[in-house]
Amino acid sequence: MPRSEVDGRAPTRRRQMVPAEKLPTRLPAAAQRFLPGIEPARDVDDWGRSQRLEQVFDNTLGDLLYDLWFRVEASNVDLLPSGGALLLSHRAGSLAPHAAMLSRIVRERFGPSRRLYVLHEPDLRAVPALGAMLSRFGCVPAQRANVERLLVDEGAFVLAFPEPVAAALKPLARRYRLARFTELDALATARAAGVPVLGAAVLGVEEANPTILARPRLPAPLRSVRRRVGRLSRRFPAAVRALARLPLVQMAFLPAKMRIDFVAVPDPGAALATRDYAELVRAAIEQRLADMLARRHSVWTG
């Protein structure tokens, strides 16, 4: 048997990539209604989400964070449609606390049966314990097929972070300046299916989870060494590579006051390319953050 990812090492051959535009057509519309039913006896759903574990989290740490630690206030919650939507938000550190806050907002608005699924990098699935834990809390690898099934077939709420992964490492001085959206698969899927897209501007999250020390900028002679190490690292286990993308040092959550505001950007349709529409959404979220920043008196009290 060839030694490959079974041993946790990267495959020696290049990955067989299928460009998005060449993905095969989906199931006919009639088949989409044959989704599996819910089995009440089960605690874990088909995505690996554990209802029991989430309830324990909600009743303990979740309520503590929402009500006492971050003192979350949400605005424009009525923009959330009942049939599911794609929420786009900005990155804030490696562990985004606002994902749990947004999940609570969706649950409070639509009941305990409606949950928010959070998209994460597929590489994290290879990290022992982390991949399994993420799925227990409704985190799903960010792949087009997964997004299609969640948004289009199941009518779920999905939270995506369209900024590049490196945006999670931005220093505190550059907080609330959103990077250009590059992870556009989820947005393209939602637009193609006519699923509503909302921006979620979260003030306070980037102070709650600041990056104190990112990877230092090396002098020029050492950068070529790092490039060679980077090429070699492709042979490392996928889990190690995924962990290496996390910032070097990050503090635990600080008790910054959190305000969440939903932003709707009208979609002109096929006349506007997804990249351009993503730029509109990014600008709208950034503007809303700027407005909220202007009204804020204190990071800790709001």
Partner 1 sequence: MSSRRVLVTGLSSYWGGRLAQALERHPAIEAIVGVDVEEPHVELERTEFVQVGADHALLRRIVEAARIDTVVDTRLIVDSWGVSVGELHDQNVAGTMNILAACSGPGSPVRKLVFKSSAHYYGRHQDDPAFFDEGMPRTYPPETTLEREILEAEASVAEFAEQRPDVRVALLRCTMVLGPDIDTSHARLFSLPVVPMILGFDPRYQFVHQDDVVRALEHATVNDLHGIYNVAADGVLVLSEVAGLLGKLPVPILPPWGTSLATTLLRRLGVPVTPEMLRLLRFGRGLDNRRLKATGFHYRYTSRETVLKFAEHLRLHPIVRAMQEPYRYERAVEEFLRWSPYVKRPHGPEEQLRARIAALETTVGELERRLRAGASPAGGSRRRRRREADAEGTDDKTPVGKASVAVEDGER
Give the nearest distance from C-beta 41 to partner 1 in angstroms: 7
Per-residue tokens: 71: 């003192």
- Asked if residue 19 binds partner 1 (CB under 8 A), the reply is no
Q: Which stretch binds partner 1 (CB under 8 A): 44-52, 105-113, 206-214, 220-228?
A: 44-52
* Residue 26 binding partner 1, by CB under 8 A: yes
Pick the closer one to partner 1 by CB: 2 or 266.
2
Q: Which stretch binds partner 1 (CB under 8 A): 6-14, 161-169, 221-229, 291-299?
A: 6-14
What's the one-letter identity of residue 208? A
Site membership for partner 1, residue 16 (CB under 8 A): yes
Name 64's Cβ contacts closer than 8 Å, sequence gap at least 6.
none
Give CA–CA dist 232/38, Å, rounded.
Answer: 46
Choosing from 18, 56, 244, 248, the residue that interacts with partner 1 (CB under 8 A) is 18
Instruction: Name which of 193, 1, 210 is nearest 95 in CA terms.
Output: 210
Q: What's the min distance (Å) between Cβ of 252 and partner 1? A: 23
The count of other CB atoms within 10 Å of the CB of residue 4 is 12
CA triple 160-126-57, angle to 5 deg: 60
Instruction: With beta carbons less than 8 A apart as the criterion, state whether 51 and 103 touch.
Output: no
| Other C-beta atoms lying within 10 Å of the C-beta of residue 30 | 7
Q: Helices 185-193 & 274-295, crossing angle to 10 degrees? A: 110
Among 75, 110, 114, 141, binds partner 1 (CB under 8 A): 141
Q: Is 21 in the site for partner 1 (CB under 8 A)?
A: no
When binding is defined by CB under 8 A, the residue of 19, 21, 24, 217 that contacts partner 1 is 24
Interface contacts to partner 1, rule CB under 8 A: 1-8, 11, 13, 15-16, 18, 23-28, 30-32, 34-37, 39, 41-44, 46-48, 122-123, 125-132, 135, 140-141, 143-146, 149, 237-239
